[in-house]
Amino acid sequence: MVAELVPETPRATSIVLELPAWHRHRAGQHVDVRLTAQDGHQAERSYSIASAPEDGYVMLTVERVPDGEVSPHLASELRTGDQLELRGPIGGYFVWDDSAREPVLLVAGGPGIVPFRSMLRHRQAAAEDVAVRLLYSARSLQDVIYREELMRLAAYDEVDIRFALTREWPQTWHGHRGRIDSRLLSEVSWPARDRPRIFICGPAPFVETAASTLAAQGQPPDRIKTERFGPAQRGQPG
């Protein structure tokens, strides 16, 4: 059941769910959401889990895709008390557990930040000192999902967080302007000898570019885990 709806950006909404029979998930996993229309037509999409395993609830964050079949309903039409059909948690590849001690680099494009919120909150709940860096690309500050929460983490130096704004930025903006590039990835990544764990999530072209750039810079491909979304990919399709 939908317990709460939280506006994140003009296009993204977080959905807090009450799931009495929920099995504890791992940070980075996803669920399948199925909608059934009155005429019996069904549509199913996969969405990353935004909440940490320790949070005691399940939260999904959905960005509305204008021509999408599922996301407009979830992001704009859903109401508190509505029922959703879910399957999950699913996935064992794109996950991070606090037992891993290597430094972690998270590279997010747009709503690709969603599974990384789960990982960051999992790290925080475990009170671990694993070094984590987040590089987050968004159109503008207004489009940064979880902006206040991420700013709090950055303010207390708990996580090294950097934003890349691709379309709009304040006049006083001192961060990166434009798309994530080779220079920026080189600045935020650890040397390959430190064997960092690298997670990249976002639109397919964004993920492919970031992964290939990091591999060209010497990061072992087997240390780079990717999750992409788009018309034919899992993640945050419409």
pLDDT for 179 beyond 80: yes
Mean pLDDT of 2-19: 96
Contacts of 119 (CB under 8 A, 6+ apart): 27, 28, 52, 96, 104, 106, 132, 199
pLDDT for 230 beyond 90: no
The CATH number of 104-229 is: 3.40.50.80
Whole-number pLDDT of residue 216: 97
Mean pLDDT of 204-231: 94
> Confidence class of residue 188 from pLDDT cuts 50, 70 and 90?
very high
Question: At 209, phi and psi to the nearest 5?
Answer: -65, -45
pLDDT above 90: percentage of residues in the chain: 74
| CATH class for the domain made up of 2-90 | mainly beta
pTM of the shown model: 0.93
Whole-number pLDDT of residue 68: 84
Q: Where in the chain is the domain with CATH 3.40.50.80?
A: 104-229
Whole-number pLDDT of residue 232: 40
pLDDT above 70: percentage of residues in the chain: 95
**CA 188/CA 204 separation, integer angstroms:** 21
Q: Where in the chain is the domain with CATH 2.40.30.10?
A: 2-90
pLDDT for 237 beyond 70: no
Residue 137 near residue 164 (C-beta atoms within 8 A): yes
Take residue 18 and report the two structure tokens written for it: 């009450």
Mean pLDDT of the chain: 91
